């Protein structure tokens, strides 16, 4: 495919998010020239971090730090295109808060549609089509744009694998946004990073998740203990997030995180389609559930039919003895 693809790069002080790297790798499946756009506090560090991924240039957007990133990024993108910068074939954004906000605002500014919740991209007739999961991941739908011009895609995390490619020095292009207008009058007044020990849920090689079958919030400590012993990230079903046992950042599933670890252990989780869509790509799945007919067993590689309150302490004890 001719032309370039741009990726909205999200970062934390110069460290790109895993999903941004996945999107850059995805773009390389279709075009040689991949560029990024970011509203970063450290564009120099970010450009260095992007070098192994073959990024041509990084549009580093400068604006008041308290501005909402989606407001600034959508304005910067529209401004660049209005200034006559060669438009990319497509813009890939993560299905994150900032990604969705940027896409929605840009769609209105440019009067072009968006395809969201994308889990795969396919090239057909020199154009990109998108695959999306519907009915909780039961069916795959393929969509295409019918108008000419820029394609806007919102892509789910873990849809693509991040791959390093021929390293390239990244050219930084500063973009100073001007005259954003009243949409820039919402301000970020504080932010904090949720404290979490151990690996991040969406990057961990092992995930141990608990569900309503744990019985009560106190028993979630068994999940955390097992996770610690396995150097795993603790996760959760929505049922126990909604019950307030654990924060939303722990939720795995359609409206939570998508995980693809080497090992996923589901404890007291029934296996609703909305949960499974977020973890069924795991390499190995172990389920512990007292109901032998629980749907989770249909996708489990190893199923333990038993009471979590009995199985978990024994498992923890056995692992402790091994160490």
Ligand X SMILES: Cc1cc2nc3c(=O)[nH]c(=O)nc-3n(C[C@H](O)[C@H](O)[C@H](O)COP(=O)(O)OP(=O)(O)OC[C@H]3O[C@@H](n4cnc5c(N)ncnc54)[C@H](O)[C@@H]3O)c2cc1C
Candidates 49-57, 76-84, 137-145, 249-257; binding stretch for ligand X (CB under 6 A)? 249-257
- Residue 303 in the binding site for ligand X (CB under 6 A): no
SS3 287: strand
Residue 232 tokens read as 């795993």
> Buried b / exposed e across 95-122, counting CB within 10 Å, b at 16+?
bbebbbbbbbbbeebbebebbbbbbbbe
Residue reference for tokens 């039961």: 138
Of 36 and 271, nearer to ligand X (C-beta) is 271
- Residue 294 in the binding site for ligand X (CB under 6 A): yes
Report the distance separating Cα 143 and Cα 115, nearest Å. Answer: 8
Can you tell me which of 137, 234, 235, 253 binds ligand X, judged by CB under 6 A? 253
Can you tell me which of 269, 286, 287, 315 binds ligand X, judged by CB under 6 A? 269
List phi, psi (to 5°) of 166: -65, 120
Candidates 103-111, 180-188, 197-205, 284-292; binding stretch for ligand X (CB under 6 A)? 284-292
Number of Cβ atoms within 10 Å of the Cβ of 21? 22
Residue 292 tokens read as 């032998």
- Residue 274 in the binding site for ligand X (CB under 6 A): yes
Q: Determine the size of the site formed for ligand X (CB under 6 A).
A: 28
- Residue 254 in the binding site for ligand X (CB under 6 A): yes
- Residue 270 in the binding site for ligand X (CB under 6 A): yes
Can you tell me which of 32, 56, 224, 307 binds ligand X, judged by CB under 6 A? 307
Sequence-ordered alpha helix ranges (H) in 137-269? 220-229, 238-242
Report the distance separating Cα 321 and Cα 44, nearest Å. Answer: 48
What Å distances lie between residue 171 and 26, 27, 47, 156, 210, CA to CA? 20, 18, 8, 27, 45
Min dist CB 271 to ligand X, Å, is: 7
Candidates 126-134, 166-174, 237-245, 314-322; binding stretch for ligand X (CB under 6 A)? 237-245
Can you tell me which of 67, 102, 237, 258 binds ligand X, judged by CB under 6 A? 237
List phi, psi (to 5°) of 275: -80, -45
Q: Closest Cα partner for 88 from 38, 179, 27, 23?
A: 27
Residue 139 tokens read as 């069916």
Q: Closest Cα partner for 59 from 45, 71, 47?
A: 47
Residue 125 tokens read as 């007739």
Can you tell me which of 100, 132, 168, 212 binds ligand X, judged by CB under 6 A? 212
Q: Closest Cα partner for 132 from 145, 144, 116?
A: 116
Of 148 and 244, nearer to ligand X (C-beta) is 244
Contact 304, 294 (CB under 8 A): no
Can you tell me which of 109, 132, 168, 290 binds ligand X, judged by CB under 6 A? 290
- Residue 289 in the binding site for ligand X (CB under 6 A): yes
Of 35 and 251, nearer to ligand X (C-beta) is 251
Can you tell me which of 1, 31, 172, 272 binds ligand X, judged by CB under 6 A? 272
Min dist CB 239 to ligand X, Å, is: 3
Candidates 20-28, 65-73, 165-173, 245-253; binding stretch for ligand X (CB under 6 A)? 245-253
- Residue 308 in the binding site for ligand X (CB under 6 A): yes
Can you tell me which of 19, 25, 98, 251 binds ligand X, judged by CB under 6 A? 251
- Residue 258 in the binding site for ligand X (CB under 6 A): no
Number of Cβ atoms within 10 Å of the Cβ of 159? 22
Q: Which residues bind ligand X (CB under 6 A)?
A: 211-213, 237-240, 251-256, 268-270, 272, 274-275, 278, 288-291, 294, 307-309
């Amino acid at each position: 495919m001719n032309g370039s693809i741009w990726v909205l790069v999200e970062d934390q002080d110069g460290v790109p998010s895993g999903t941004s790297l996945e999107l850059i790798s995805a773009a390389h499946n279709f075009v040689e020239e991949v560029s990024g756009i970011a509203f970063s506090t450290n564009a120099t560090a970010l450009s260095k971090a992007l070098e192994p991924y073959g990024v041509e240039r990084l549009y580093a957007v400068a604006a008041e730090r308290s501005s909402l990133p989606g407001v600034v990024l959508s304005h910067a993108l529209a401004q660049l295109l209005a200034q006559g910068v060669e438009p990319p074939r497509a813009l890939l954004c993560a299905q994150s808060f900032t990604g969705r906000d940027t896409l929605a605002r840009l769609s209105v500014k440019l009067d072009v549609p968006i395809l969201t919740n994308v889990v795969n991209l396919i090239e057909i007739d020199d154009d990109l089509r998108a695959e999306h999961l519907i009915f909780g991941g039961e069916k795959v739908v393929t969509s295409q744009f019918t108008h000419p011009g820029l394609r806007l895609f919102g892509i789910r995390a873990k849809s693509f694998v991040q791959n390093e490619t021929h390293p390239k020095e990244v050219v930084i292009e500063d973009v100073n946004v001007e005259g954003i207008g009243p949409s820039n009058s919402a301000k970020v007044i504080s932010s904090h990073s949720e404290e979490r020990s151990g690996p991040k849920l969406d990057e961990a090689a092992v995930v141990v998740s608990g569900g309503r079958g744990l019985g009560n919030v106190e028993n979630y400590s068994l999940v955390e203990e097992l996770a610690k012993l396995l150097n795993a990230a603790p996760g959760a079903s929505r049922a126990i997030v909604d019950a307030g046992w654990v924060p939303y950042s722990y939720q795995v599933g359609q409206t939570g995180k998508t995980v693809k670890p080497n090992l996923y252990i589901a404890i007291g989780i029934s296996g609703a389609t909305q949960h499974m869509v977020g973890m069924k790509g795991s390499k190995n799945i172990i389920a512990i559930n007292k109901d032998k007919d629980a749907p989770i067993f249909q996708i489990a590689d190893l199923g333990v039919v038993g009471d979590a309150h009995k199985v978990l302490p024994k498992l923890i004890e056995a692992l402790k003895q091994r160490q």
